[in-house]
Amino acid sequence: MAVIRDFAFQGAQMLLVLLLSPLLTGFVRKVKARLLRRQGPPLLQPYRDLVRLMRKEVVLAESASWLFRVIPYIIFAGTWVAASLVPTFRSGLLFSWSADLIALIALLGSARFFLALAGLDVGTSFGGIGSSREVMIASLAEPAMLMIVFTLALIAGSTQLSTMAAYMVSGEVGLRVSLGLALLALVMVAIAENARIPIDNPATHLELTMVHEAMVLEYSGRHLALIDLASQLKLLLYISVIGCLFTPWGIAPPNGGAAEIAVGVATYMAKLAVGGVLLAIFETSIAKMRVFRVPAFLGAALMLGLLGTLLLFVSRSL
Partner 1 sequence: MATYALYGVAALLALAPIAVALAASARASNVIYVASLLVTLALGVIGLMSLFERTVSIATLPLGLPWLGAHFRIDALAAFFVIIVNLGGAAASLFAIGYGSHEESPQRVLPFYPTYLAAMNLVVLADDAFSFLVSWEFMSLSSWALVVAHHRERENLRAGYVYLLMASLGTLALLLAFGLLAGSDGNYAFDAMRASHPAPALAATVLVLALVGAGSKAGIVPLHAWLPLAHPAAPSHVSALMSGVMTKVAVYGFVRIAFDLLGEPAWWWSMLVLAVGGITAVMGVLYALMQHDLKRLLAYHTVENIGIIYIGLGLALAFKAYGMPVAAALALTAGLFHVFNHSVFKSLLFFGAGAVLNATGERDMEHLGGLIHRMPQTAFVFLVGCVAISALPPLNGFVSEWLTFQAILLSPQLPSWGLTFLVPAVGALLALSAALAAACFVKAFGVTFLGRPRTPAAANARETDSNSLAAMYFLAALCLVAGILPGIFIDALAPVTNALVGKSMPHQTGLDWLTVVPIAESRSSYNGLLVFIFVTLSGSIAAFAIHRLASDKLRRGPAWDCGYPELSPATQYTASSFAQPIRRVYGTTVFRAREIGEMPPPGATTPARLTVEIHDLIWDAAYAPIAAFIGYAAERLNVLQFLTIRRYLTLVFSALVLLLLVLAIWP
Burial of 288 (0-12, 13-18, 19+ CB in 10 A): middle
91-113 CB burial, b ≥16 within 10 A, e <16: bbbbebeebbbeebbbbbbebbb
β-pair partners for 90: 252
Which residue, 138 or 241, is less far from partner 1 as judged by CB? 138
Window 112-151: contact mask with partner 1 (x via CB under 8 A): xx--xx-xxxxxxxxxxx-xxx-xx-xxxxxx--xx--x-
**Of residues 2, 37, 39, 62, which one binds partner 1 by CB under 8 A?**
62
Cβ neighbours of residue 55 closer than 8 Å, sequence gap 6 or more: none
In terms of Cα–Cα distance, which of 129, 133, 288 is closest to 217?
A: 129
The rounded distance, in Å, linking the Cα atoms of 318 and 315 is: 5
The distance of closest approach from Cβ of residue 11 to partner 1 in the complex, given in angstroms and rounded to an integer, is 12
Q: Reduce the DSSP state of residue 255 to 3 states and report it.
A: coil
Q: Is the separation of the CB atoms in 53 and 228 below 8 Å? A: yes
Count of residues touching partner 1 (by CB under 8 A): 91
Return the number of the residue (78 or 275) whose C-beta is nearest partner 1. 78
Q: Which is nearer to partner 1, 218 or 228 (CB)?
A: 218
Shortest distance (Å) from residue 63 CB to partner 1 = 5
Concatenated DSSP letters of 179-244: HHHHHHHHHHHHHHHTT-TTT--TT---GGG-SHHHHTTT--HHHHHHHHHHHHHHHHHHHHHHHH
Q: Does 95 bind partner 1 (CB under 8 A)?
A: yes
Q: How far is the CB of 297 from partner 1 (least distance, A)?
A: 12
Q: 139 or 286: whose CB is closer to partner 1? A: 139
- Stretch 159-198 residues interacting with partner 1 (CB under 8 A): 159-160, 163
Identify which of residues 81 and 269 has a Cβ nearer to partner 1 in the complex: 81
* Residues 191 to 230 in contact with partner 1, rule: CB under 8 A: 207, 217-218, 221-222, 225-226
* Axis crossing angle, helix 221-246 with helix 101-121, rounded to the nearest 10: 160
Shortest gap between Cβ of 22 and partner 1 (angstroms)? Answer: 15
237-296 positions binding partner 1, by CB under 8 A: 291-292, 295
The answer to whether residue 59 forms part of the interface with partner 1 (CB under 8 A) is yes
157 binds partner 1 (CB under 8 A): yes
